[in-house]
Amino acid sequence: MLPLPRQIVTGKARLAGVLGWPVSHSRSPTLHNYWLSRYRIDGAYVPLPVEPAHFVQAVRGLQAAGFRGANVTLPHKEAAYAIADDLDHSARRAGAVNTLLFQADGRIRGVSTDGDGFVASMEAEGLAPKGRALLLGAGGAARSVAAALQDHGMEVAVTNRTAERAEKLAEALPGLGVVPWSEWEEQLGAYTLLVNTTSLGMEGGPDPMFRPSLRHAARHLVVADIVYVPRLTPLLAEAEQHRLKTLGGLGMLLHQARLGFREWFGHDPDVDPDLEAYVRASF
């Protein structure tokens, strides 16, 4: 990998960032600033730690400061959906927003790139989205991934510690199944794909040691985790112990980021081995 040229940041720089709480784990700044340096674009992308109670105020402040927009990570994706003036089909289908695009007329366009980014990361590893999928979680990321997998023809079910949230998600996405949290480990044999869409197992998250049993999994099960810090989550470590195919969260991050970068900075970036190596080096 060749050394990157020095990043250009002048008084005319285009600005974007990532809103989250916490946000210290995010590699989005590393990713976007790599692209800015690589393509010699005058711009900067910064981490924006914002408590949930201050989310709306923070977004309005970014608009006033001249930002082009922002990515949105946990726990703000549903709040971002609410603040957007215009929602793309992807956002309406997902019921959440992970990319805010600030328009010249002051309106905010909300987009969800999580689901398509996840599918793209599967395909980049030669994994076809087919068969039956079980998703852990029922929040914004779960809905986005579930909708994308359904759109690719998969039969999808979700499980969540709070059953009411899973039932509510099933009402929003026709055809979505619900599995009780107390039973999902025993039912793994019926699935070809398991996806953790929660912050369980995330460094700095509510349960960084989350490591469920996979002893009932079929040999063909693919285990995916959208968490990418740490790179090898306890769930993925458990899957490797059972010699199951795994998919980490970094690929989803890289692929979902392209649309926002293109809109904010005016260039369609590549996802390639050099980018992956650069971001991995930051772990």
Tens digit of pLDDT for each residue in 91-142? Answer: 998 888 999 999 999 999 999 998 999 999 999 999 999 999 999 999 888 9
CB 88 within 8 A of CB 115: no
Model confidence at 220: pLDDT above 80: yes
Share of the chain above pLDDT 70, in %: 99
Same domain, residue pair 130 and 74: no
Cα 233 from Cα 204, distance rounded (Å): 12
User: What are the tokens at 37?
Assistant: 């340096």
Alpha-carbon span 142 to 159, nearest angstrom: 10
Q: Would 106 be classed as within a structural domain?
A: yes
**Per-residue pLDDT tens over the stretch 223-254:** 999 998 888 999 999 999 999 999 999 999 89
Q: What is the CATH number of the domain that holds 201?
A: 3.40.50.720
pLDDT band at 265 (very low <50, low <70, confident <90, very high): very high
Higher pLDDT, 26 or 62: 62
108 bridge partner residues: 102
Same domain, 163 and 98: no
d(CA 249, CA 43): 26
105 and 140 assigned to the same domain: no
User: What average pLDDT does this structure show over 10-35?
Assistant: 95
Active-site residue list: 77
The answer to whether residues 210 and 139 belong to one domain is yes
Same domain, 129 and 215: yes
Residue 4 lies in a domain: no
pLDDT at 148 over 70: yes
Instruction: Output the six-digit token pair for 240.
Output: 């490797």
Do residue 21 and residue 127 come from a single domain?
Answer: no
Claim to verify: residue 45 and residue 105 sit in the same structural domain: yes
Query: What CATH code is carried by the domain that includes residue 73?
Result: 3.40.50.10860
CA distance 208 to 199: 8
Q: In terms of Cα–Cα distance, which of 128, 154, 162, 124 is closest to 270?
A: 124
Give yes or no: residues 127 and 235 share one domain.
yes
**Token duo for residue 14:** 């285009």
Q: Are residues 144 and 237 in the same domain?
A: yes
Binding-site annotation: residue ranges: 26-28, 73, 98, 114, 137-141, 160-165, 226, 228, 249, 256
Q: Which domain holds residue 159?
A: 115-248
- 1 pLDDT above the threshold of 70: no
Compute the CA torsion angle 58, 53, 254, 144 (nearest 10 deg): -120
7 found inside a domain = no
269 lies in the same domain as 202: no
Tally of domains in the chain: 2
